[in-house]
Structure 1
Amino acid sequence: MTAYYSDDTVTLLLGDALDVLRTLPDGSVDCIVTSPPYYGLRDYGTEGQYGLESTPAAYVETMRQVFAEARRVLADDGTLWLNLGDSYAYPPGSAGRQGNGQREGLRGTRDVPPKNLLGIPWRTAFALQDDGWILRSEVIWAKRNIMPEAVKDRPTRAHEQVFLFTKQPRYFYDADAIREESTSTAQEAHNQRYARQYEAHTVRAAATGQPGNVNNVGIHSRPGKGGRNARSVWTISQRPNPQAHFATFPIDLPIRCIKAGCKPGGVVLDPFSGSGTTGAAARQLGRKYVGIDLNPAYHDLAKARFAQGVLDFEEAS
């Protein structure tokens, strides 16, 4: 396939995600970070777009097929980070709109009655799991700043899921790259106490030649490593990009995924590239990037973004 755009670090491919993935070599990327069009929420005005399937089951099957092909393209020790938001079935005759201008969901489905939360992220996650992916983690993206919703009979949604999938039980994962600062002096003191116990145990093992059982020694911290292992709730602010389409996620999200899940110098793929946020994160971290999108206008936005150099936002805490 001829690239829509290519330079030393970026390749942008134009076309349907599934069709383009079928042209890529086995094991040619090290990490996938992506956010597909959500089910029933937006019409991007592009023929062949995903997200407007007639039922949740049809959407999930589309996602299963796309990521089955993506699994072939991913290296055996690679990771997939999949961000998905949820949607509702809304009653016939209602506008089905939220205060932020997006639709709450599709008007009635054969699967569930109106006003049901459809559970699209978990339906998709289970379908991928059944298809051979290993579901390693559910990360909650807690949004600091959210657009208001007009709905008055349920809480306002302020989070989305990010699922970590792998092909194999062993895979590249750099926990230290996203290590968090301890949130309290008590926690840090606890970590340091375990670190001292671990160091003392190491000295004893070296002297006696009997390493013994270290499973419960130093599990919270290691000498020379402060802070704590990253938690499964990531609080990240949304960052509007006036030049991008309206469904972008903040660059801080793919930065964190790539730091943890892509080896240095590796290749990052986004099958739903949009305005290139994942690509900007990959370039900022010294990784190569392959982006796929159905709409050439979004690739043009990405090209303009990449032409500015590595000028993206500082990572959120």
Structure 2
Amino acid sequence: MSHLLELFEESDAPRPEIRDASHNLADIVVGDVRTVLQSFPDETFRTCVTSPPYWGLRDYGTEGQIGAEKDIRDYIKDLVAVFREVRRVLTHDGTFWLNVGDSYTSGGRTWRDVDAKNKGRGMSYRADTPEGLKPKDLIGVPWRLALALQEDGWYLRTDIIWNKPNCQPESVKDRPTRSHEYVFLLTKSEKYFYDHSAILEPAIDPKQKAKNRRTVWNINTEPYPGSHFAVYPRQLVRLCVQAGSQPGDRVLDPFFGSGTTGVVCNELARRCTGVELNADYAELARERLLKRR
């Protein structure tokens, strides 16, 4: 736990609860990211890799949770404020890798039943159709957020398509099944650390050289056998961490969830700090980090 406590040595702010995951390089701070990040000193982390709660898609059962705002504009505003603090605690050459999914308007439905194939689908609330949109409209959440972050001062360097070859089937008959999400690479400064050689695409033909990583990443989803139902795959995180940091660097995940970012940082010898609002998920992450999987 000592390496995390160093983050607060120069701060007079109250220290949030810290749950130490012994024998690994990741620590978990339990609390609301909107206040926790304010306790962190400037320019502490080399990179940030995270996937915040998607708007209107999950009910994590926590009062005041980000993602449960009634208005999409409030969701964007909340995340812009959180990521403004992320920008402050990033080093000058730091990068920010943001995974976020899209959704459709609810069409006036006020709840959603549990699906046997997707237990996390059940919700006790449904957000209203955003102003200006119609029932069945694709909302465009990722780009709304990315452009708002760009306007707030981030450099928006690229969008990455995370293609899911093993995506969940959909019963829709009037549009294609959605099988992708976005990952945005944003930076604090015009010049920043990016290790392109660490994530080269291997050549299929041994006579050819490896090539620069493209913007479409084909990565299978990777369910974790725990109670957290929104886990992004380790390979997705691994590429971001490898490109955005070096061994020994600090990595931040302000929406730690089940701890995938910490697991990957352990594999790659990076020190990781995760912030998680839900104490149950924090405990799940702690157990997972100790098991190293």
Alignment TM class, shorter chain as reference: 0.7 to 0.9
Q: What are the equivalent positions in structure 2 for 1:1-317 lying under 5 Å apart?
A: 1-6=15-20, 7=22, 9-93=25-109, 100=118, 102=121, 106-183=127-204, 188=208, 226-309=209-292, 312=293
Aligned residue pairs total 272
Q: Displacement of 1:96 after TM fit?
A: 5.9
CA shift at 1:176, angstroms?
0.7
Task: Percent identity, please.
Answer: 45
Q: Which residue of 2 aligns with 1:210?
A: none
Matched letter for residue 100 of structure 2: L
Return the alpha-carbon distance in structure 1 between the equivalents of residues 237 and 211 of structure 2.
20
Query: In the aligned structure 2, how far is the partner of 1:146 from the partner of 1:20?
Result: 34
**Inter-CA distance 185–117: structure 2 relative to 1 (3 Å threshold):** same
What residue identity is the alignment partner of 1:264?
P
The superposition leaves residues 196-241 of structure 1 with CA deviations (integer Å, 9 ceiling, x where unpaired) of xxxxxxxxxxxxxxxxxxxxxxxxxxxxxx3100000000001111
After superposition, what is the alpha-carbon deviation per residue over 1:145-188, rounded to whole angstroms, capped at 9, x for unaligned?
111123222111000000000011111111111001234589x3
Q: Secondary structure at the match of 2:39?
A: coil
Does the C-alpha gap of structure 1 residues 49 and 55 become closer, same or farther in structure 2, counting only changes over 3 Å? same
Contact 1:5 1:13 in 2 (8 A): yes
From the CA coordinates, give the structure whose radius of gyration is larger: 1
TM superposition shift of 1:93: 4.7
Q: Deviations over 1:256-280 (max 9, x none)?
A: 1000011221011100000100110
Query: Which 5+ residue runs of structure 1 have no aligned equivalent?
Result: 189-225, 313-317
How far, CA to CA, are the matches of 2:38 and 2:55 in structure 1? 23
Contact 2:71 2:128 in 1 (8 A): no
- Kindly indicate whether the alpha-carbon contact (under 8 Å) linking 1:100 and 1:149 is maintained by their aligned counterparts in 2: no
Once the two structures are superposed, what CA deviation does each residue of 1:37-91 show, in whole Å capped at 9, x if it has no partner? Answer: 0000011101121101112211111111110011001111111000000011121
Helix, strand or coil: the match of 2:212? Answer: coil
1:116 aligned partner, one-letter code: D
Q: Please report the RMSD computed on the Cα atoms of aligned residues, expressed in angstroms.
A: 2.0
Taking the aligned partners of 1:235 and 1:280, their CA distance within structure 2 comes to 21
**Structure 1 residues 103, 55: CA separation in 2 closer, same or farther (over 3 Å shift)?**
farther
TM-score, normalised to structure 2, is 0.87
